[in-house]
Each structure stands twice: as structure tokens, then as C-alpha cells.
Structure 1
Amino acid sequence: MAAAAMTAANRRVVSLILHHLSDMKYKDRRQRGPDQPVEFLEFRPTLVPSILVNKLWAEEGTSILWKRYPHLPALQAMAPDRRQWYANKVERLFVLGPPPESEADWAYLEGMQWPKLKILELEVDWKRHEQRVRTMLHAGLEHLEFLAPQSGSSQYIAGSVLPALFAPCANLRTIHFGPDALDHQDPVHSQELIELLESSQSIVDVRVINTGFIGKDTLFRRLSQRPGLEALEIDLEPGLQLLPSLSGTITLPSPFASLRRLHLMCYPEIALALPVHLRLVEHVQIDMARIPNQLRHESDMRVLDDILSELAQCPELRSLRVNVGQLALDFPSAVSRPSLSGMALVKLASGCHNLQEFHLLASEPAAIDGSMVSSRHFDAFCRNLPHLKSLSLKLHPQTAFDLESTALRSLGRYCARLETLRLKVSLQLPSLQLHRVAPPEPPTADHVLFQDLVGADGALQSLSIAINGCQPEASYGVENYASSTSSTTSTEPCFQHLVHLAFARPQSILSIASDTYTISSNSQSSSIVDPLVEEDLVKLWAESLSSHFPRLEVLEAWSDWTGQDNESLSYFLPLEESLASMWEFLSGVEQDLWEDARDFDEPYIEIMSRDGYREERFSFDSHTTGDDWEMASLINEFPVEEDADGSAYLEPYHDEPEGMITPGGMLGNDKEGFFQHADPKHTKASTAEPEADDLHAINDGKLSSSRTT
């Protein structure tokens, strides 16, 4: 007991405990109503109980809470000296200005000092609120983001706003401008920014992508020669004006000698000329497009192969994302797709062994033609990427038949660290049950290496193996691949770290039945399917999911096996009710958690009988009990109350009631597309809690230590 008391009184130990607690996260799924989508929320534990222990715990707890994006309006209810006491703790701050029509009073912020502030995100109109936020800009600030639309003209921004942002921040390292900060109809010339950047030599990270600056080619040239530049996000002007500076007779001397992170929007010719200058780059995102005013070039079809071959000479690459956008009037499209060859994947993996994130995408409604990616290619690709954590390939399912039963085995065998897998292929999960995947073997002379697969002409070669001095005619590649995917007796999960799995919804008796009419999240008829066959199918898939993905949090149906359905359906925490989740996934039904009954420890259904209400309970622990099939298979059905006759089970409607609305899937604005970026206006949820003395000042629940994702 004495040791515990001493520990609780040690400031350093208390700080470590509270930091550990504040860094913890837990996730929950919620559905606000039967007509609302399921939400996946992430929370952090509150530190309020810890703050109320004693003065020492309060001081350490409030320091942790207030240094991470505190809730500024909480200061308004405090005495002026207490406001400054809290402001002295802040290290990260997000300032969201009131809407123009609001009369909110920000006078309580005027004159306050923020001595420890390192990261500042301003979403305010500078012309209206300059006096309130000017003191937040000081010599200790290192990261500045300027996000909100401005009411001032381009002359005002160039002459007043930009100098005011740069001048006080002598040690600024990053400067980011949001896409809405400058009016694209009244742009600011990039020369104004160039002059300020040259006067601030400490800046190593610049983001001006999709912003209202003009003359970005000039800015790109100047930044390419900037000493120490580590990160750049920029969209270039349409055209090939920069090409001679990268690959012609007037090539810039050693451009981007220190660059580590690049996000570029440009013509594909510019993208292909750049990798030779990026020997130290670690993170690359390239969005390729043209002004689509002409027919496509023949070279556009293989633009993915070309860019991967060029990027293979960047040995330090850790993260790669390539988007193919609108290159011509008819390309890419639903019928005209960029192609991807297996040899390009193998070449990239052989040159970039440290790759951890790899994403290839094409703008809607297009996908990537993967017909030239064989199982052998994909196996060699996986073998060379042991550090891979995130993989996303938007292949067209109808072109990737060769990967349906083998891709998961290759990934499970060689990519043990995988956490996110989005493969638009109609994967067959039960194949993991039939072929247990053994852990990767240490390299031997018998392994297929890239140089063994590629001949002098760049084509895939067949290498023979000498057995007892004889040279058989059989291909080494085929035999070795069969050996590498052979069955073993291992019972270890194939994907122990995977939390997000997305693939095309496969063709099955459930998907065929659901396609007979428009799917609704509230109605699904399974009467045309043999219940025993349906049960066996779902249990087989659910068993594979539970056995090989023990940490899975999100199961996503990325289109279907035809490649025509562009809708993405997500199923959160699918292992909690694996049978229900798998039935919904295979049927293409939206996840539905809504229940009209009262809350109990276990889910139940309440049916009206002739002698009153009767309650029946069922377990959702489907992957352990196997007794909940009736409930899982009918999870989205309506009870036929007038024919209940004492039954505690739900019964399906064999015919849809007249007047019932069953809308089909519709594409929204949030669907994946080219040049579609995350909105930078992320409002950071409060992580601040007041000290015990100030709890009386804020009792309306505005302060919270949880952050929602």
C-alpha cells in the first residue's frame, strides 16, 4: 500500500499513467435509426475522474487535455487569469471561426498569449478575426494550416494576410493552404508566396494543392532547388511546359535533392520524367490527368506499367499511391480501362523492398484491367514485400479471375504485417480453409527471384529444375508456385493484424437470389434458396472469416463480381455477429443494427401472441455456438404479426407488400473518384477538461475527451 501511495504521488509516474490512458482508443458502431447508416466511431477515455483525484493529478491531467486541440469556447466562462493559465498549456490548436451571419463574441481571446503552441490550424476569416488570432502566431510555432475562405480580395491577401502569417513565425517548418482558402475566381500569383518562402528558410514542408494560386509551374521550379525541402503537395498547370526542365537539354541541376514526400497532380509525361530525380523519396502520391479535349493516346493504356517501372528506381519508397484520372474524352471509362501487367508489379516490388503502402486506383466509373496479372506474378510480388501493411488495387473483377482463389494465400504467406487489404477481386474466403497458409520460408536457392522470372527481352521465363541430374521440361515457375501454396497443417490465422478487408462481392446463390429484385436494407426474400444450402454457405464463409481474420473491424463489399455495382457497403465489427454479417455481405444488404425492443445483455426478438407479449432471446455469438442460423438468415426480415401463432421466430415475406419502397444503390458525392481529396476542414473534437476549480464554469457537456472518426 505504501508503494502504491508513493507511486500515486510521483509526478513523473502520474504523467506517464495519464498519457497512457489518454492514448488509449476504443471503437463502437452505432445506428441512430432503421433508416440511418451504421456509423463506426472511435473514442478516447475521459480523464475527468483522474483530474478529480487531487491537485497533482489535476495539474497533470489538465496539461494533457489542454495541449491537444482544446475547446476554446470553454475559456469564455473562466476568469481572465484562469484563461491564461490554461492557454499556457496548449500545444495544438484548431480555431474554427463563427459563420459570417453569427454575432459570436471572440473578445475573450484578444490579447491572450500561447507560449507553447506548436501546431495551429486556422479556419477563420482573417479580415474579421485578425485581432483575436494574431497572438497565436509567434516564433515558437512550427506548423501552420490556413483553411477557411477569405472575404478579402487577392490584393488584400497578398499584401496583408500572407505577410502577417509568415513574419512572426521565424521557426516555421510547415505551411499548408487549404483548397478553399483562396478564391479560384480571384487567384493570387505564386510569386507572392515565393518571395515569402525565400525569406523563411526554416520551412521544409509546403502544401498548395488545389489552392487559388496561379503560376504553380514557376513555384515548382523554385521549390525543386530549395535546400532542405522534405515535403511538397502541388498541382501543376495543364500542359508539358515543365518537361524540358526534368528530362530535356535544360534539365534543372539536382532537383528535389532532399525530398521525402511528394503529392503531385500533373500530366502523365511529367510524372514519368520525375522519379529519376527522387532517389530519397519515401512517400509518393501521383494523380495523372489531362484536359480531356482529345482522344486517348495509345501509350495511355499502359501508363500504370510505365510509372511503376520508373518508380522501381526509388529504393527508399515506403508509400505509393497512383491515381489515373481523365486522360482523354473516352479514357478511362467503364469499357476503356488502363492495363496493369504482372511484370510491372514484380519489378516494382523487386526495386522497393521497403514498401509498406501501395494503392492503384482509376477514376469512376473505370477500373484497372488486371488480365495480365497471373497468380505467379502476384505471388512473386507478395514475396518481395515482407513489410507491406496496406494494399489497395482497383482491378476490374471480370479481368482478375486468376487471383480469386490464390491472392489471399500469397498475401497470407508473405505479407504477415498486412493491416488493410482492399482488392477489387471476387476473392474466395473458403479457399483459406482448404489450403492453410504456412509461414514464409527463409530464402533458398530454389525461390523464384525477379531475375529468374525475367529474360533478356523482359518476358516471363520458364526456369527448369534438374532432378537427379536430369533436366525436365516442366516449368519451374508452375511447380514452385504449386509448392508455395500447398496445404499445410498450420492452424495459425493467415492475417493476424488485418483490420480492414474489402473485396468484390462474389457470385453465390445468395447474390443471385438478391439480384432478382432491387435490394432493400429492410427486406430480403430468401424463399427461393434452399435453407440448408444457404446455411452451409454462410457458415463456411463465416468460419473462414473468424479463423483467419481475428482482428477484423471492417468488412467492405467493394462492388460485386460483375464490376458493374459501384456501391461500397461496409460492415463494422463483423466478427461480433459473423453469420449475420456474412449473410448481409453475400446478399448485398446494408448492415442493420436497429432493434425496436428494450436493451438486454443479449439480443432478442419480441413477438405479439394471443395472450400478450412474449420475449425470446438468441445468441449472436455465431462463430462459436452455431445455433443462431435462423436469426442470422432472417436478420432483415419483418415479422408476420397476424400469423405469429406463438412462434418466436421471424418469418419472411414471400411477396413484397404493396407500396413498400425498395430503392437501389445510388452514387453519392462521397464516392471514390479522381482528384477527390479529403476535406481539410476536420473539426477536431475537444480533448480538454477543466480543472476541478473550473468545473462549475462549464457544466453543459461541451468539453469531451473523446474524438470521433
Structure 2
Amino acid sequence: MAASAAALANRHVLSTTLLHLSDMKYKDRRQYGPDQPVEFLEFRPTLVPAILVNKLWADEGTSILWRRYPHLPSLKHMPLERRQYYANKVHQVFALSPPLGGVETLDYLEGLSWLNLKSLELEVDLQLYGAPFRRMLHAGLEHVELSGIQSGGSQYFIETILPTLFNPCKNLKSIRIGSDTIMDDDPVHVSALYEYLDALPAIRTIEVKLVNLMDKDALFTRLSQRQGLQSLQIDLDPGLALLPILAGPYALPSPFASLRRCSIMCYPEIALALPTHLRMLEDLQLDIARVPISPHQPADFTIFEDMIAELSHCPKLRNLKIGLSSLAVDFPSSILLPRLSGSALAKLAETCPKLEDVNLLVTEPSAIDGSSISGRDFESFCKALPQLRSLSLKLQPTTASALEMTALQSLGQYCSELEVLRLKLAIQLSILPGSDSMPRILISDDDDFAPEVLALQDVSPLFPKLTHLALSRPDTDLAPVPDTFTSSVSSQSTSMVDPTVEEDLVRSWAHPLLTHFPRLEILEAWGDFSGQDNECLNYFLPTQEILASTWEFLSGIEQDLWEDDVESFEESFEEGNSWHSLEDWEKASLTNEFAFGEDGPGDVHEVYPDIGKLALRDEEPEGMITPGRTLASGDYFEDSPTHA
């Protein structure tokens, strides 16, 4: 005790300990009403109890909180000297404009110095509310991000905003301008950025994707020769004007020689010409599209395969995302699909052996034709990428049925580091090997089943680190009939199913989920087995109520954490709803009972520790959690127009 007390009285040890605590996080789900969707929230432990210990703990705890998660409005209740005390601790700031029509002001920021501030993200109309933030812009700042509508117009943006942002920040390393910053009807020419970028040689990251800047091709050409540029996000002008500088006798010498990360929206011909110049690239995101004015061409169907062939020039690639949008007036569509062969998929893994994240998708309602991908090809792909952490393939389920029986086994055998797996395939999880020591999930108190003997050897989970699993809803007795789909399957009821069949079906899926996905946080129904339904339904922390979540997944019904009363079940019975077939499912959604050995219930952690997460988490007292800022990724093409 004396040693631990001495350690925690040491400022360095205490700071390290509290910093580790502040980095911890857990996720939980909330449903605020029976008519509200389930939300998945991320929380961090509060440092308030630590701050209350003594002066040393308070100083270190508040330093950590204000360094990364400063709540600036709390400054308004402090005297100026105390406000400066906390401002000295701040390393990064995210700020919003006050609500329109409100009485709130930003006067509490006036007169403060922010000498330790490194990152400033402003979603603020600078013409109306910019004055209090001017002192945050200083020579020590490394990252500046501006988003939100700027009411001053293009002239104000050029003459006031740009010099305000850039001139004081002599050591800026990263700049991002948000897509909503410049009005659609009042664009700014890219030449307005030139003098500022040239005056800041330390800048390594530039993000201007979807910003209303004219002549992006000229900026792209200029940046291609910039020394030390490591990260670029940009959308190019529609057309092929850049092709001569990327390929042919007049190509620029060694463009983007130092680039490590690149996110570009462009025509397919430009995308195919880029990789040969990007030999140092580690992260590539391509949004491929055209102005859709002509019918499709034969080469459009092989764009994925052609792009993968060019990626042989990028052996250091770690993250790859290729999204395909409109290429022609009729392509891609629900009928005309781009192809991906198994040989191309295997070649990708062979030529880019460092890949950790692979994401290949097509905008709705289309998908990828996977009819040429064999189980052997997919196994070769998996075998060559043992460090793969995330895989997302938006296949048309009916074209890739050859993978339904083997894809998970190949991934589980060779890709043990997987954390996210999204395969638009109607895979039957019940084919995965089970465990004799996995207890049977009890549905009611009268169910006294227990295995006679626990197996000495257990089945190791195929995916010990996976947190997100997305599959197409399979064709089972619980699945809605495809031709009855409306805009949402959540309102569809399944057909009448024999109670025993329904119970066995759900259990046959629940056990593999528990056995092979011990850390699963999100189970996603990515459309259905026919490819007609494109709606995604997420089931958060599905193993907490494994039977209910599995039933909802198989039935195509939205997750619901609210307990129905007995009358609703009686009404469902009279109306023919399939819930009537298992009256104890209501209990199943609330119970965590398991049977072990001949003696009945036992300690789940002693017998099967990997399913300890089934225990329900008690809700924390109000004010005892510190929410962190989480940015949702959203759909790949959510903010990406198709050059139309």
C-alpha cells in the first residue's frame, strides 16, 4: 500500500495512470422510447472522482480533460484569471456557432491566450462569430479545420477568412476546408490559395474535397510537385484534362513523390493512370464516376479488375477503398453490375501484401458481380493477408453463392486479426463448427436441459477480435418473402412457422454467434439473400439478448429493447404474428441463464469465460460518464456527388 501511495503521489506516474483511464471507453445502447430507434453510444469513464482526491490529482485530471475534451462554455462562469488557467491546458478545440436567434454569446473567450493549442476545428460563421477565435490562431498551431456556411460570400472568404486563418499560423502542418463552407452559387477560384500554401512549407496534409473551388485540376497539378506533401483529399474536375500530365510523353516527372494518403474523386481513366506514380502510397480512397451522358462501354464492367491490376505499383498499400458511382446513363444499375474475378482478388493480395483494410463497393441499387470468384480464389486472397483488419465487399448475393459455404472458414483460418467484416452474402452461420461445452441457452425457467458432460477441448473462436459482422439476411423460414418487400422490411411479419422449427433455427444461429464472435458489438443485416432488399439493419450488442437479437436478424425486424406487455403478445397470437409461436421469447430477451453440467446453473465465467460479456451492464448514475466526440463515417457516397 505504501508503494502504491508513493507512486500515485508522483506527478508523472499519476498523469500516466489518469491518461490511461481517460483513454478507456465502452459502448452501450440506448432506446429512449418504443417508437425510437436503438442508438449505439460510446462513453469514457469520468475523471471527476479522481479530480476530487487532492490538489495534485485535480491538477493532473483537469489537465487531461481540458487537453482533449475542453467544454468551453464552462468558462463563462469563471473569473478571467481562472479562465486563463484552463485555457493554458487546452491542446485542441472544436467549436460551433451559437444557435441562431439565441441570446448566447462567445464573450467568455475574449482576452484569453491559447499558447498550447495545436488543433483548431471551427464549425463557425467567421463573419458573425470569428472575433473570439482570432487569438487561437497563432504560430504554434499545427492543424486548422474550417467548416459550416460562411455568410460573407466569396469576396469575404478571399480577403478576410484566408489571411485570418493562414497568416498567423507559420508552422501549420494540416489544413481542411469543409464541403459546406463556400456557397454553391458563389465559388472561389483555387488561385486564392496559392500564395498561402506557398508561404507554408511545413504543410503536409491538404483536404479540399467537395469544396466549391473552381479549377481543381490546376490545384492538383500544382500540388503534384509540392515537396513533402503526404496527404491529399480532392475532387477533380469532370473530364480527362489531367490525363496528359499523368501518362504519355508529356507526363510530369515524379508527381506526388512523397504522398502517403490520397482520397480522390475522378474519372476512371484518371484513376487508372494514378497508381504508377504513387509508389509510396499507404492509404488510397477512390470515388470513381463520370458525368453520365453516354451508354455504358465494355471497359466499364471491368473497372475493378483494371484498377486492381494497376495497384501492383503500390506495394506499400495498407488501406484501399474503391467506390464506383455513375459511369454511364445505364451503368451501374440493379441489372448491369461491374465484375470482380477471383483471380483479380487474389492478385490484389499478392501484389499488396501489407493490406489491412479493403473496401470495394458500388452505389445503390447496384452491387458487384462475384460469379467469377471461386472458394479457392477467396482462400488465396485470405491466405496472403494474415494482417487484414477490415474487409467490406458489396457483392450481389445471388452471383456469389459459391462463397456462402467457405468464405467464413477461409477468413477465420487465415485472418485472425479481423475486427470488421462486411460481406454481402447470405452465409449460413449454422454451418460453423459448434462447441460441446457451450451451454444450451435457456428460454424459460422450466427448461432444465444441461449437457451431461462438459467437453475437455473447446472450439476456438474463428474471429476472436471481430466487433462488426455484416451479412445478408439468409433464406430461412423466418425471412420475409422477397416479393413482399416494401421500402422497409421492419414492418413485415414473417409467415406462420412451427414453434419447434423456429426455436431450433434461432438456437442454431445463436450458438455460432456466441462461439466464434466473442467480442461482437454490431450484427448487421446487409440486405437479403435475393439482393432485392437494400436496407441495412443494425443489432447492437446482440449477445446481451442473443435469442431476441438472432430472431430479429433472421426475421428482418428492427432491434427493439422495449419489453412488450402480455396483451400485445395475445394480440399477436390472434393476428397470426410468429411471435405467438414462442411465448417465452419475452423472457429470453431479458435473461442470461445458462445450464452447466449435471448440477444445473453455475458460474458462466468459470466454465466459459469468453461469454462473460453477456452480463447486463448496470446503468451508471447520472453525471458519472464523460461522452467523447465520435464522428460517424456514414455512407461512402453520402457526400460524394456523381459529377452530374
TM-score in terms of structure 1 length? 0.77
Distance of aligned partners of 1:525 and 1:403 in 2 relative to their CA distance in 1, 3 Å threshold = closer
Contact in 1 for aligned 2:356/2:389 (Cα 8 Å): yes
Q: CA deviation at 1:71?
A: 1.2
Amino acid at match of 1:385: L
Q: CA deviation at 1:34?
A: 1.1
Alpha-carbon distance in structure 2 between the residues aligned to 1:315 and 1:203: 26
Contact in 2 for aligned 1:514/1:588 (Cα 8 Å): no
Tell me, what secondary structure is at the counterpart of 2:543? Answer: coil
Tell me, what secondary structure is at the counterpart of 1:433? Answer: coil
Structure 2 unaligned segments of length 5 or more: list them: 437-456, 572-585, 597-632
> Paired residue for 1:121?
121
Bigger radius of gyration among the two: 1
Q: CA deviation at 1:8?
A: 2.7
2:456 is equivalent to residue 493 of structure 1: no
> Paired residue for 1:538?
506
Contact in 1 for aligned 2:480/2:493 (Cα 8 Å): no
Tell me, what secondary structure is at the counterpart of 1:240? Answer: coil
2:554 is equivalent to residue 586 of structure 1: yes
Two-structure CA RMSD over aligned residues (Å): 2.4
> Paired residue for 2:594?
624
Matches within 5 A, 1:528-607: 528-595=496-563
Alpha-carbon distance in structure 2 between the residues aligned to 1:675 and 1:125: 24
Q: CA deviation at 1:537?
A: 1.1
> Paired residue for 1:676?
639
> Paired residue for 1:407?
407
Contact in 2 for aligned 1:391/1:422 (Cα 8 Å): yes
Give deviations 1:238-266, integer Å, cap 9, x for gaps.
Answer: 00000000002210110000000000000
2:31 is equivalent to residue 17 of structure 1: no
Q: CA deviation at 1:558?
A: 0.1
Tell me, what secondary structure is at the counterpart of 2:303? Answer: helix
Q: CA deviation at 1:529?
A: 1.2
Distance of aligned partners of 1:435 and 1:251 in 2 relative to their CA distance in 1, 3 Å threshold = farther
Contact in 2 for aligned 1:364/1:673 (Cα 8 Å): no
Distance of aligned partners of 1:618 and 1:265 in 2 relative to their CA distance in 1, 3 Å threshold = closer
Contact in 2 for aligned 1:346/1:377 (Cα 8 Å): yes
Amino acid at match of 2:472: A
> Paired residue for 2:479?
511
Contact in 2 for aligned 1:543/1:623 (Cα 8 Å): no
Amino acid at match of 1:419: E
TM-score in terms of structure 2 length? 0.85
Tell me, what secondary structure is at the counterpart of 2:478? Answer: helix
Alpha-carbon distance in structure 2 between the residues aligned to 1:547 and 1:672: 30
Amino acid at match of 1:14: L
Contact in 2 for aligned 1:92/1:117 (Cα 8 Å): yes
Alpha-carbon distance in structure 2 between the residues aligned to 1:587 and 1:220: 49
Alpha-carbon distance in structure 2 between the residues aligned to 1:517 and 1:186: 43
> Paired residue for 2:233?
233
Q: CA deviation at 1:52?
A: 0.6
Contact in 2 for aligned 1:217/1:242 (Cα 8 Å): yes
Distance of aligned partners of 1:520 and 1:130 in 2 relative to their CA distance in 1, 3 Å threshold = closer
Tell me, what secondary structure is at the counterpart of 1:583? Answer: helix
Q: CA deviation at 1:581?
A: 1.1
Q: CA deviation at 1:17?
A: 1.5
Name whichever of 296-305 and 426-435 sits farther off.
Answer: 426-435
Matches within 5 A, 1:141-290: 141-290=141-290
2:335 is equivalent to residue 365 of structure 1: no
Distance of aligned partners of 1:294 and 1:554 in 2 relative to their CA distance in 1, 3 Å threshold = same
Contact in 1 for aligned 2:367/2:394 (Cα 8 Å): yes
Give deviations 1:102-141, integer Å, cap 9, x for gaps.
Answer: 3422222122110100010011111122321100000110
Distance of aligned partners of 1:529 and 1:22 in 2 relative to their CA distance in 1, 3 Å threshold = same
Give deviations 1:181-220, integer Å, cap 9, x for gaps.
Answer: 1112111110111221011111010000000111110000
Alpha-carbon distance in structure 2 between the residues aligned to 1:520 and 1:674: 23
Distance of aligned partners of 1:148 and 1:513 in 2 relative to their CA distance in 1, 3 Å threshold = closer
Alpha-carbon distance in structure 1 between the residues aligned to 2:223 and 2:278: 14
Alpha-carbon distance in structure 1 between the residues aligned to 2:498 and 2:564: 29
Give deviations 1:487-535, integer Å, cap 9, x for gaps.
Answer: xx87111000000000100001111579768787588466x21111111
> Paired residue for 2:430?
430
Contact in 1 for aligned 2:467/2:522 (Cα 8 Å): yes
Give deviations 1:607-644, integer Å, cap 9, x for gaps.
Answer: 9xxxxxxxx96674568349xxxxxxxxxxxxxxxxxx
Give the number of equivalent residue pairs: 568
Tell me, what secondary structure is at the counterpart of 2:538? Answer: strand
> Paired residue for 2:77?
77
Give deviations 1:670-697, integer Å, cap 9, x for gaps.
Answer: 984635369xxxxxxxxxxxxxxxxxxx
Amino acid at match of 2:94: F
> Paired residue for 2:447?
none
Distance of aligned partners of 1:365 and 1:157 in 2 relative to their CA distance in 1, 3 Å threshold = same
Matches within 5 A, 1:386-401: 386-401=386-401
Contact in 1 for aligned 2:546/2:589 (Cα 8 Å): no
Q: CA deviation at 1:544?
A: 0.9
Give deviations 1:567-616, integer Å, cap 9, x for gaps.
Answer: 0011111111211111111111111101268xxxxxxx999xxxxxxxx9
Distance of aligned partners of 1:606 and 1:368 in 2 relative to their CA distance in 1, 3 Å threshold = closer
Contact in 1 for aligned 2:434/2:515 (Cα 8 Å): no
Contact in 1 for aligned 2:243/2:269 (Cα 8 Å): yes
Tell me, what secondary structure is at the counterpart of 1:263? Answer: strand
Q: CA deviation at 1:285?
A: 0.1
Amino acid at match of 1:674: F
Alpha-carbon distance in structure 2 between the residues aligned to 1:280 and 1:618: 53
Amino acid at match of 2:499: P
Contact in 2 for aligned 1:500/1:553 (Cα 8 Å): yes
Q: CA deviation at 1:169?
A: 0.5
Alpha-carbon distance in structure 1 between the residues aligned to 2:634 and 2:4: 53
Tell me, what secondary structure is at the counterpart of 1:3? Answer: helix
Contact in 1 for aligned 2:465/2:519 (Cα 8 Å): yes
Tell me, what secondary structure is at the counterpart of 1:556? Answer: strand
Contact in 1 for aligned 2:29/2:540 (Cα 8 Å): yes
Contact in 2 for aligned 1:521/1:591 (Cα 8 Å): no
Alpha-carbon distance in structure 2 between the residues aligned to 1:553 and 1:200: 43
> Paired residue for 1:329?
329
Contact in 2 for aligned 1:142/1:171 (Cα 8 Å): yes
Tell me, what secondary structure is at the counterpart of 2:175? Answer: strand
> Paired residue for 1:667?
none
Q: CA deviation at 1:430?
A: 1.6
> Quick one: percent identity of the two aligned structures?
56
Alpha-carbon distance in structure 2 between the residues aligned to 1:6 and 1:382: 50
Amino acid at match of 1:81: E
Distance of aligned partners of 1:292 and 1:520 in 2 relative to their CA distance in 1, 3 Å threshold = closer
Q: CA deviation at 1:297?
A: 1.6
Give deviations 1:66-104, integer Å, cap 9, x for gaps.
Answer: 011311110001001000000000001011111343342
Amino acid at match of 1:676: D
Tell me, what secondary structure is at the counterpart of 1:105? Answer: coil
2:296 is equivalent to residue 296 of structure 1: yes
Give deviations 1:462-507, integer Å, cap 9, x for gaps.
Answer: xxxxxxxxxxxxxxxxxxxxxxxxxxx8711100000000010000
Tell me, what secondary structure is at the counterpart of 1:144? Answer: strand
Matches within 5 A, 1:476-491: 491=459
Distance of aligned partners of 1:46 and 1:389 in 2 relative to their CA distance in 1, 3 Å threshold = same
Structure 1 unaligned segments of length 5 or more: list them: 437-488, 598-604, 608-615, 627-669, 679-709
> Paired residue for 1:38?
38
Alpha-carbon distance in structure 1 between the residues aligned to 2:301 and 2:481: 37
Contact in 1 for aligned 2:480/2:494 (Cα 8 Å): no
